[in-house]
Structure 1
């Protein structure tokens, strides 16, 4: 077994160490979206500075750059074969570019996915192999952790996912675990192609936050780990409120919290203007509206303010964002549509919870954004099953806000069927942790939690009536 340095781009900073086995040099191959349906980014790692990408469209080979390359002029619904050669190692992959379905693309969302206890991995790989899903979004906290064991954990995680993400786009957002290497280096280097392509085209020049369209959905990735500025909109207290600010500034894409909000508003303005073509706007990141504090280990576990979500809440409400997908809590939570807190303080309840627009699994013409937490695909950390036992044990700010809660393992699949109907299906892949068997038995939940967001009363401009 030989050891070599893993590099995402020739001459760039090494991500970590790869164990080269059975002569295999090329590893961790994964695709991502670009700003056009006729192009995809492919990234890989290899312990050599001599790599070449060839891809074939109708028997017309094209040559790309090394480590991170764009394959363009790809036909819709067409099969693309691509070959990566690094030294004496050659590997061949294929994928269907922008598969066309009557009911739209099927996008998997999950967060907090570890290499140990990866309960959902087998199901995900089976779905990808059967072309039953079209892309994967991971909303932060990868591998547990990318950096561990000199990057061997991160490398193994990416290699395990490779059968999925070498054939389907893989879109990331950072979580708090990505900050643990001191500068988000593992995250930014492994997804350099996202920053250089979709980040550039969406005007963020970053892989911390960016946006792109897939069919009828405008996706917006946000970074909840640098935090907001208290009173940003009112220009009051400019105190930083999240502990990963310094790590963000040490990254290759440093930014101030207000820069992200300014970018987000500009992006939402463009998306709103295009809503007659792309009607659905979905944000995703690591944390949601109710995760703005954590126990202070040095002060009797009193609540300590962390992520300030009020800036995101204000913009999501103003520009009528339909759905927020996140993780961080290792459970499944589906909330009623609501307007989050206006003040950044511990245990702040929502300004309004909108229940009258929800009838069973139908969310019809709701005015506020719906939040879904899908943070339980499996990892080695204990889940927070207690939050699903009953509202007498949950934090006071979320009492009466959840339409559904499950402590079991699983992930969700998103599907914009048409301009008025968007489907979300959460699929359980395993029971809750046996370490929590002392908890009262949860009410039995169905294997699939399915909801429909329906907006059939939009104006001609695409806004809600």
Structure 2
């Protein structure tokens, strides 16, 4: 009996100990989840984080965006050409309260300040925040004025919080002053809403070493869909009145056009965004294609997340067996297709992502290749040139190509990396594909040369 009593007592103590450990674990989890509310607000809640830049209504209007956990009732940017020695200018802006749609309904305050009418081709240093807390001192350089200069950009999509393999090299490039802007062609963080938007916060902190120094221009991807793209809309401030879903800007000899491919796929949020975007695109491209505007800025370059043509078998609407929604429009009705619109208004280059690889296409329209010539396919091409650059790195890893590549595939690479664009002048664009797998080696390089720009019709 004594032995049985001891046995039962020992078992009871083990169970009690296990329960205590479980309760302690749950307590630790709760403490971790509530850490943001428990920390000293003067250190954490008011401190700016997730700082990033974008162009405003012009290249000389720089928009600074950042987040705080609590309301500061102030949104200020102090700046000067030399922050330490020059008198500081102070500009105030606005803030919005953002509540994530997850179960915890986490909140933050997202601040926006526009630095207007800055001097062209000028180095500035700045700090953002409020009387309750300031960021570090960052810097940027405004682009030159006018059309007669040669902008350089890094362009990529599909970069996540995990396995962001290209990030370190992009950070190094940016700190060396290699880029006048960066374009992220959809799919951020994987996903911004994950873990009640903590993954989104971490991603925005990760890219700060890029985006706090170089305008970070974006478009939405399918991974931003949750809660009607609320994390994307709240965190980014792009120019125009398209809620950052669509906009355009001029940079040197290029007119850039950003649009959402996702309005074709998530019509559960309503058709209004799709129709409104298409009407805007018609107006914007028609204006950009006017002879007087083409004379100033001859190149028209678009970017949206999902591609019209693919080189893999995965995509249900991008393998040639079915019509691509954005290419031909909504199924059956074929309303709001973009391929004809882009062809009509003489779009030169179309950037896409979504597929986790790099592909350069021959000039293509309606499944037909329109090379300039056999010897020089990209000299005076007779259709837009499409580039898929979705290999910056994310937790979904690489994607394989089809065993039999389509005839429109001019070059492909499965390496992690990103694309560089330099718009030399009115007639010459130069592209490079950087392989991070190969320690920064250029695995693709080509020129696009056009002596005349306009509709292909």
Pairwise TM-score range, normalised by the shorter structure: 0.7 to 0.9
**Could you tell me the TM-score, scaled by structure 1's length?**
0.76
Q: Tell me the distance in 2 between the aligned counterparts of 1:354 and 1:175.
A: 29
Conserved 8 A contact 2:159-2:393: yes
Which of 162, 183, 186 does residue 137 from structure 1 map onto? Answer: 183
Equivalent position SS for 2:51 = strand
Q: Is the 8 A contact 1:146 1:153 kept in 2?
A: yes
TM-superposition CA deviations, 1:69-95 (whole Å, max 9, x none)? 110121111122222123542122221
Q: In structure 2, how many angstroms separate the alpha carbons of the residues matched to 1:28 and 1:457?
A: 42
CA RMSD of aligned residues (A): 3.2
Which one of 211, 218, 221 corresponds to residue 165 of structure 1?
211
Q: Give the Cα separation in 1 of the matches to 2:315 and 2:339.
A: 23
Structure 2, gaps ≥5 residues long: 1-31, 95-110, 329-336
> Of the candidates 263, 282, 288, which is equivalent to residue 226 of structure 1?
263
Counterpart position of 1:329: 355
The structure with more helix, counted as a fraction of residues: 2
1:386 lines up with 2:401 in the alignment: yes
Shift of 1:143: 0.7
Counterpart CA distance in 2 for 1:222 and 1:413 is 20
> Of 51, 59, 64, which aligns to 2:87?
59
SS at match of 1:246: helix
Alpha-carbon spacing, 1:404–1:64, altered in 2? closer, same or farther (3 Å): same
Q: Which moved more, 1:374-383 or 1:51-60?
A: 51-60
Distance across 1 between alignment mates of 2:429 and 2:275: 31
What's the CA shift for 1:400? 0.7
What's the offset of the Cα at 1:21? 11
Q: Could you say what secondary structure the match of 2:302 adopts?
A: strand
Equivalent runs, 1:182-197 vs 2, <5 Å: 182-191=227-236, 193-194=237-238
Specify the structure having the higher radius of gyration (Cα): 2
User: In 2 relative to 1, CA 305–317 (structure 1 residues): closer, same or farther, beyond 3 Å?
Assistant: closer
Match of 2:167 among 92, 110, 121: 121
**CA distance in structure 2 between the aligned counterparts of 1:20 and 1:372, rounded to whole angstroms:** 46
Which of the numbers 325, 347, 352 marks the counterpart of 1:307?
A: 325
Q: 1:257 and 1:19 mapped to 2: Cα distance?
A: 45
Which of 309, 316, 332 lines up with 1:290 in the alignment?
A: 309
Residue 85 in 1 paired to residue 129 in 2?
yes
Q: CA, structure 1 residues 110+364, in 2 after alignment: closer, same or farther (shift >3 Å)?
A: same
SS at match of 2:52: strand
Q: Which moved more, 1:61-70 or 1:124-133?
A: 61-70
Return the match for 1:261 from 278, 295, 298.
278
Other-structure match for 1:368:
383
Aligned partners of 2:391 and 2:415 also within 8 Å: yes
Give 3-state SS (helix, strand or coil) of 1:151's partner.
helix
Q: Judging changes above 3 Å, is the alpha-carbon distance between structure 1 residues 286 and 214 closer, same or farther for their aligned structure 2 residues?
A: same
Shift of 1:65: 1.1
Show structure 1 runs of 4+ deviating over 4 A: 1-5, 17-24, 99-103, 291-296, 303-306, 462-465
SS of the counterpart of 1:316?
helix
Q: Does 1:94 align with 2:139?
A: yes
C-alpha distance after superposition, 1:84-142 (max 9, x if no partner)? 12354212222111158996111111001111111101100000111011211111110
Q: Give the Cα separation in 2 of the matches to 1:107 and 1:122.
A: 16
**1:199 to 2:199 alignment:** no
Equivalences for 1:203-222 in 2 at 5 Å? 205-222=242-259
Q: TM-score, normalised by structure 2?
A: 0.77
Q: Name structure 1 gaps, 5 residues minimum.
A: 6-16, 228-241, 297-302, 341-349, 433-444
Looking at structure 2, the residues matched to 312 and 21 of structure 1 have their Cα atoms a distance apart, in angstroms, of 50
